[in-house]
Structure 1
Amino acid sequence: MPVYSAVPLELTAAERHRLKKMAYGHKTPHQARQRATIVLLAARGRGNARIAAETRLHVDTVRRWRGRFAVGRVPALADRKRSGRPPTFTALQTAEVKALACQLPTESGAPLSRWSCPELAREAVTRAIADTISASTVRRWLRDDALKPRQHRSWLFIRDPNFRATAQRVLNLYARISDGTPLGEDEYVISADEKTSIQARCRCHPTLAPGQARAMRVNHTYGRGGALAYLAAYDIHRAKAFGRCEPTTGIDPFMALVAQVMTQEPYASAKRVFWVVDNGSSHRGKKAADRLAAAFPNAVLVHTPVHASWLNQVEIYFSVVQRKVVSPNDFTDLTQVGDRLRAFEDRYNATAQPFQWKFTTSDLDDLLARLDRHTADHQEESSAAPAA
């Protein structure tokens, strides 16, 4: 009988480090751990029979993986590709199902708002794309191309003809620049808006505190205790919030918020205080700007573009209020809502830091360029489509 001599192995430092991670990693598959162990023992000069005894593997298994490593190094320890079972579906069938997933259901005559994998499988059979097909197969095909027809996102085209100039002015103020000149130490930028309809929902059973392996429990049923509006002004560079609760929104409540801020220092004696607001009815248009300037000559109203409230930093503060104060909503009455909001302002102002606003005018130009390309492509597709 032939006598097999063990293949001598020498490892580089990188190979040894990688094999140790494979052999001792908690998340390493069992087979990969065995193969790495074989190679590490072989590199220490041990024979195949001894390695087989220590690892409780057959000596032929040890010899095979030792030899494969000697030829192909670490990549050779992976399983080789196998032919597997012949495919049940053709490439054309796969492409047709994916193409169907990229169409709106209404274009196919299906009374659906969006496709699901079971519905796509049923439609594929109806269209005779395949005699039978499972939803899991469709799901696997869609996952290969990252297709998600069950999901949707809303979008909005820019309608403001002065969008860039208006947005640039807001972004420059965030960067402490006005009309190309840096703001002085006695100039401030305030972001203001209203958070409407904060309800007082009194739960029919007390809310239960969280415990070990148990989340907070809030009873689903509740009694309505009314609603109020929360108006807030946020100094974006000093990270200071000013708020007030009103029965409703409107011009008078907004001007009351302005007066609350502008009658205290350092804003009362400031050279200019810029108020960044959206185009809500309480502070829309030139009349609102004139009204603000008449009441406080050093106040300057600056509007965000139409449908661009996301440029208003106070919306970030409102999201913090929603997560930390309002939700889950469990208040006995509106007085408790107001007290909680005022107490939160004091808590927030004690430790707040300015938001790390990263959207700059360069990002704005990139966004507008992408929208222009998208609009051009959409117009080309529309013009190329055959007339009905």
Structure 2
Amino acid sequence: MDEMTGIQALERQAPDKPMRPGKRERREFEYIRHGTQTLIASFDVAQGRVVEATVGARRTEVDYLNHVQQLLATDPKAIKWHLVMDCLNTHQSASLVRLVAQTEGLDVDLGLKGQSGILQSQQTRSDFLRDPSHKIVFHFTPKHCSWLNQIELWFGILVRKLLRRGNFVSQAQLKTRILEFVAYFNRTMAKPFRWTYEGKALKQ
């Protein structure tokens, strides 16, 4: 799981000039900027497909919580969830702690954010969310190691296949095209990524 922020809805001021013998396709460099959108996406490593994608204007704690709730709703009968993400503060929020506690049926005092208990600090919340005994287990990648999260590979595909050469006349069109691409990818291209790194220690 991760967010892709600041996706620009750029409309080219002039149409592209198509390829012809001896000439490459040429694109207008001037554009009209229609604002940005944020994509929050969850990637199923085993199947190689995007399970849930949310496109909106922001990536607040509430937005991320809503995305996690929508993800969990895709398979209500799942016995266990392992969610991999980076260490962003919204990924270790009080609202996620409350969600996990509610899912686990825990009748405990979570404390007060910034003052006491599980909610006291980002570290105490992170420790709670990582608990392997829970049905929903969070795994946080180390700092500067977001490449360990396979959603980053999929974001690269999105950029190359859609965003880099896209022409979007509005934020609404950008949102629609992203969600259409997710559906197209899942239907035609989805397959597990094959890691080539074998985990060997680096030689000194």
Name the TM-score, length of structure 1 as normaliser: 0.42
Unaligned runs of 5+ in 2: 105-134
CA distance in 2, matches of 1:299, 1:213: 57
Counterpart mapping for 1:341-380 below 5 A: 341-351=178-188, 352-360=190-198, 362-363=199-200, 366-367=201-202, 370=203, 373=204
Check conservation: 1:228, 1:245, Cα contact below 8 A.
yes
Counterpart of 2:177 in structure 1: which amino acid?
Answer: R
Deviations along 1:301-359, one digit per CA (max 9) or x if unpaired, are 11011111010100000000000110024211111111111111111001311000233
Structure 1: which 5+ residue stretches go unaligned? 1-191, 374-388
% same residue: 27
The answer to whether structure 1 residue 280 and structure 2 residue 118 are counterparts is no
Q: Does 1:259 align with 2:72?
A: no
Report if the CA contact (8 A) 2:39-2:53 is conserved: yes
In structure 1, distance between residues paired with 2:138 and 2:95: 8
| CA contact 2:17–2:27 (8 Å) conserved in 1 | yes
Q: Does residue 270 of structure 1 match 2:74? A: no
Bigger RCO (CA 8 Å, 6+ sep):
2
Q: Distance in 2 between matches of 1:212 and 1:197?
A: 37
Name the residue aligned to 1:331. 168
Contact 1:292 1:301 in 2 (8 A): no
TM-fit CA distance, 1:281 = 2.6
For each residue in 1:131-157, what CA deviation from the matched residue of structure 2 results, as whole angstroms up to 9, or x when unmatched?
A: xxxxxxxxxxxxxxxxxxxxxxxxxxx
1:303 aligns with 2:140: yes
> Larger Rg: 1 or 2?
1
Structure 2 counterparts to residues 101-180 of structure 1, below 5 A? none
Q: Which has the higher strand share?
A: 2
Kindly state the Cα deviation for residue 280 of structure 1 after the two structures are TM-superposed: 1.6
**Aligned partner of residue 228 in structure 1, secondary structure:** strand
Q: Which amino acid aligns with 2:140?
A: H
In 2 relative to 1, CA 223–308 (structure 1 residues): closer, same or farther, beyond 3 Å? same
Aligned-pair CA distance for 1:201: 1.1
More helix by share: 1
Give the counterpart letter for 2:143 in structure 1. Answer: V
Deviation at 1:204, TM superposition (A): 1.1
Of 45, 51, 54, which aligns to 1:244? 54
Stretches of 4+ aligned residues off by more than 6 angstroms: none
Residue deviations 1:228-262, cap 9 Å, x none? 11111000001120211110112111112112211
Q: How many residues align?
A: 172
Corresponding position of 2:38: 229
Q: Does the CA-based 8 Å contact 1:274-1:302 persist in structure 2?
A: yes
Q: Does 1:210 align with 2:19?
A: yes
Kindly state the Cα deviation for residue 224 of structure 1 after the two structures are TM-superposed: 1.0
Please tell me the root mean square deviation across aligned C-alpha atoms, in Å. 2.0
Query: What is the TM-score with the length of structure 2 in the denominator?
Result: 0.77
